[in-house]
Amino acid sequence: MSRLNDSTSRQSSEQVPGRVTVAPGVLAGAVRVPGDKSIGHRALIIGALTDGTCILTGVPASQDVLATAAAVQAMGATVTLGAGSTGLDGTVTGPLGAPDRPIDCGNSGTALRLLAGVAAGIDGTTTLTGDESLLARPMGRVSRPLRALGATVDGPDDATRPPLAVTGVIRDGGSHRSEVASAQVKSALLLAAVRAGVGVTVQSPLPSRDHTERMLRAMGLAVETDLEDGARVTLSAGVPAAIPITVPADPSSAAFWWAAAAIGGTVVTTPDVGVNPGRTGILAPLAAFGAAVSIELQDPAGDEPVATVTVDGSGGLTEHTSLGGAQVVDAIDELPILAIVGALGDGGLEVTDAAELRVKESDRIGALERLFTALGMTIQTRPDGFTVPGGQQPRGGTFDAGLDHRLAMSAAIAATVATGPVTIDGFAATGSSYPGFASDFASLGGSIAPADGTDGPP
């Protein structure tokens, strides 16, 4: 079962306004952002695949991660979570089996794809579904390799969209080539093999974030990575050992404050941030634009490197920056906010090889075009990327972020340097990843207020 104490329930269900107005202003100071969503998902799922009970510290209270907690509970795990000093603390104990009802993954593509992998290793059928946005996202990239492992995967349009009904069990992992450099697809195959008790090799065209490999290795499994030809990961059969897992602060959440410092000419410091090389792809572009980036390493969280990161934008953003290939893979979630930084700097930004943006929580390239238009700025979009001229300034206006949390937060950061207030519809989507975003925005000196008739601060 899953148990939340009263304070945790308040934290996880904190009301996020559907509509806010952000006034221009300066963001500066220090902020400790929530735990890393990617690691939080994996801590709950892999923790339930171990040989005992995993003690968890710093799990983020985002809607996406809580959906994963509820999902592993529905699959037979025992989850206890309560409010801690940096997020949710508690335990997870397996095993995981086929559930007796469909699993609602909410808005979380990570939860659905990783749990589809786990389900492929279970003798039985698991049905995975989610909200309107998730039901539109592509799943063929994970359905096809899971079928190649021996699982049965059914769903709309030949299981290229959710809901997915996954029936295991696989008998032999074998070797598989992923069509995309996706940590979620790679992790689904690795977790299918772990649950089924077999080994597997996954070949990807480029390296991608390696949280799953690091966690499995820390739990005693043999995981080898070869980067000679793209990225090949080989996992040997075994049962992961239960260990304590501390979730570092999320670099994808900290990225918004780093960007605010860069475009505002201020200094923002974020302690305890995970600096896994596959997750800090935004820092090199910020430095290339002209911001000063300082990384002060701290004690690691298990096998994950951790640091205090400071970004100083006082020197201005003078350089043009281009991103493509592996750089895009490492910064895929931060490309919307990088587009804002590119527009506000002198040199602009060009992004290629980013067709993956079309299939995120929204078509993020199309959504960026809507955001730029709403704020009176210019962006040239292509099927796989965009070009942003430099030297621009946003104007006041209204933008509908729909169901995309990163577009809502990017709009809020852009508003800090706009010529007038910016109203953001769909702001409630931020609760899926960063429910305390508005509070942290205000703590750094920003002005953000509900515009939908709700009372009090967001």
How would you write the pLDDT of the chain (458 residues) with one tens digit per residue?
Answer: 345 443 333 344 457 899 999 999 999 999 999 999 999 999 999 999 999 999 999 999 999 999 999 999 999 999 999 999 999 999 999 999 999 999 999 989 999 999 999 999 999 999 999 998 899 989 999 999 999 999 999 999 999 999 999 999 888 888 998 888 889 999 999 999 999 999 999 999 988 899 999 999 999 999 999 987 779 999 999 999 999 999 999 999 999 999 999 999 999 999 999 999 999 999 999 999 999 999 999 999 999 999 999 999 999 999 999 999 889 988 989 999 999 999 999 999 999 999 988 877 678 999 999 999 999 999 999 999 999 999 999 999 999 998 899 999 999 999 999 999 999 999 999 998 999 999 999 999 999 999 965 433 44
Instruction: Note the CATH number of domain 8-36+248-450.
Output: 3.65.10.10
State the alpha helices, DSSP H only, in 136-207.
140-149, 156-159, 183-196
Q: What is the pLDDT of residue 51?
A: 94
State the alpha helices, DSSP H only, in 52-170.
63-74, 109-120, 132-135, 140-149, 156-159
Same CATH topology for 8-36+248-450 and 37-245: the answer is yes
Whole-number Å distance between alpha carbons of 8 and 66: 11
**Cβ neighbours of residue 277 under 8 Å, at least 6 residues apart?**
330
CA distances from 457 to 256, 423, 447 (A): 20, 15, 10
**Cβ neighbours of residue 44 under 8 Å, at least 6 residues apart?**
56, 59, 65, 68, 69, 72, 77, 79, 92
**Cβ neighbours of residue 443 under 8 Å, at least 6 residues apart?**
29, 31
The answer to whether residues 298 and 283 touch, using CB atoms and an 8 Å cutoff, is no
- Judged by DSSP in three states, 445 sits in coil
Which tokens belong to 191? 């977790």
Whole-number Å distance between alpha carbons of 205 and 207: 7
Which tokens belong to 219? 């739990």
Q: What is the pLDDT of residue 14?
A: 56
Question: What one-character DSSP code corresponds to residue 60?
Answer: -
CATH match for 37-245 among 2.120.10.30, 3.40.250.10, 3.40.50.2020, 3.65.10.10: 3.65.10.10
Return the active site residues.
333
- Judged by DSSP in three states, 28 sits in coil
Q: What is the pLDDT of residue 156?
A: 97
The domain ranges of the chain are 8-36+248-450, 37-245
End-to-end CA distance of the chain: 31
The answer to whether residues 386 and 379 touch, using CB atoms and an 8 Å cutoff, is yes
User: DSSP for 359-416?
Assistant: GSSS-HHHHHHHHHHHTT---EEETTEEEE-SS--PPSEEEE-TT-HHHHHHHHHHHT
- Smallest Cα–Cα separation from 180: which of 384, 336, 39, 362? 384
Greatest Cα pair distance in the chain = 61
Q: For 200-339, where are the E strands, in sequence order? A: 200-204, 223-226, 231-235, 245-246, 267-274, 292-297, 306-312, 321-323
Whole-number Å distance between alpha carbons of 200 and 205: 17
β-pair type (125-129, 164-167)? antiparallel
pTM of the model: 0.92
Strand partners, 249: 35, 273
| Signed CA dihedral, 377, 382, 383, 385: sign only | negative
Which tokens belong to 271? 């302690």
Question: Which residue type sits at 112?
Answer: L
